Amino acid sequence: MQSFTDSNYWLTTVSMPQGTAGDLPQRADVVVIGAGFTGLSAARTLAKAGANVVVLEANSIGWGASSRNGGMVLTGLKLSPETLASRYGMELTRRMYAASLASIDLVEQIVREENIACDFSRCGHLEVACKPSHFDSYARSVETIAKEFNHHLRVVPRAQLSGEIGSSIYFGGMVDETSAGLNPARYAAGLAAAAMNAGASVYENVRVLQITPETQNGNRGFRIQTDRANIFAGKVLVATSGYTSSATPALRRKIIPIGSFIITTEQLSDSLARELSPCNRMIYDSKHYLYYYRLTPDNRMLFGGRAAFFPETKNTVRRSAEILRRGMVQVFPQLRDTRIAHAWGGTLDFCFDTMPHAGQSDGIYYALGYAGHGVAMATYLGAKVAEQISGQRVDIPFTEIPFPGAPMGLYNERPWFLPFAGAYYKVLDWVS
């Protein structure tokens, strides 16, 4: 394996804004925990509505998955429309799918309103079929989505796939022109600047230790104990996704932190980049243990996947980089001699039902569980829950679905089962 930089490529393209200086205030209308897409979107919405908002971030702005992902702004949800309809009924499924489409529009609206230079582009996404049976299911999905959701996708037969991707290993594809791509670190930086410009305070390197219901001067709220000071807030929003901590144990037991890893190549020539991705789509394959990939704005191939299920460490990043490079060359033999420039990892937040969730737990608001669709859905749910906190009547379909924990209570906040989960998904891919 050639040498590469164990670092996040996206962070080389941006200078993150500095958080709010000084001591924590003693009180706030709303405390938001986490300065990623969810928390920053919520803080922006709350501050624009006139609330006194304080965001507490254990590390730095955009430190978690928000700056480490592939920058894919995707329609739909992790589960197929057929699975969603059988589980939740078609009426609720329609509303959830509509929310996924609205989430793309919201990201585009924020980028435009706040003038965020993050290379946002409605380039569409391409799902590629790893097996003939996967391709056969695309026609059914396209028909269902057109009929039930009035949203139109396009099936690409194998014979025409070369117009979408410079790889011959797949059995066809499905294109959704509505999806988009962006630079996630620049987007996180822009969201943070927008939130602070609207009046929110964002404090970095503040770790929340405990949240306790409390009444002060006749006002019910919460005392948030941190490693720096305590702060009282009327309302609290937990926006910590895959980095949810023991400060909110009930939520932590419902979140599975899964490692996802990415490599980027050196810059490619224009001709090679066009050969690999003629339409510059956001691309992912049909496996459970999937690969996802795209060109970056400066013509690098970004290639990611669940190479190791455990969250990122130096060892898992290095091991995953080797796995991902082999996968990339299998998809694109043209890149066999191309140098890997960057490799990094991050932690996704999966729930046991593979669905996003929002609502209240013991009076504390939350939004999380994006399962790889977090750029758009985290932005959307952050804003929608913030509107709800502000007293608006808001339709959030994800508050209406059950939020399951581990079967038989076998999860005590430590994901001991991740190696088994990885093996299980590999078996599913083998038999499906």
Q: How far apart are CA 107 and CA 114, in angstroms?
A: 11
CB-CB contact of 237 with 366 (8 Å): yes
Q: At what angle do helices 90-113 and 132-149 cross, to 10 degrees?
A: 90
pLDDT at residue number 306: 74
- pLDDT for residue 3 is more than 70: no
The CA angle 253-259-264, to the nearest 5 degrees, is 155
CB-CB contact of 310 with 347 (8 Å): no
CB-CB contact of 58 with 335 (8 Å): no
Q: How far apart are CA 273 and CA 268, in angstroms?
A: 6
CB-CB contact of 252 with 413 (8 Å): yes
CA 83 from centroid of its chain's CA atoms:
21
Q: How far apart are CA 106 and CA 384, in angstroms?
A: 11
- DSSP code of residue 158: G
Q: Which residues contact 189 (CB under 8 A, 6 or more apart)?
A: 14, 15, 16, 17, 61, 62, 116
The CA angle 11-17-21, to the nearest 5 degrees, is 135
Helix/strand/coil for 246? coil
**Letter for the amino acid at 241?**
S
Can you give the pTM of this predicted structure? 0.93
- Fold (CATH) for 9-431: FAD/NAD(P)-binding domain (3.50.50)
What pLDDT digit, counting tens, does each position of 207-224 carry?
999 999 999 999 999 999
- pLDDT for residue 410 is more than 90: no
In 3D, which of 162, 171, 82 has the Cα closest to residue 134?
Answer: 171
What pLDDT digit, counting tens, does each position of 305-356 carry?
975 555 566 788 888 899 999 999 999 999 999 999 999 998 888 888 999 9
The domain segmentation of the chain, as residue ranges, is: 9-431
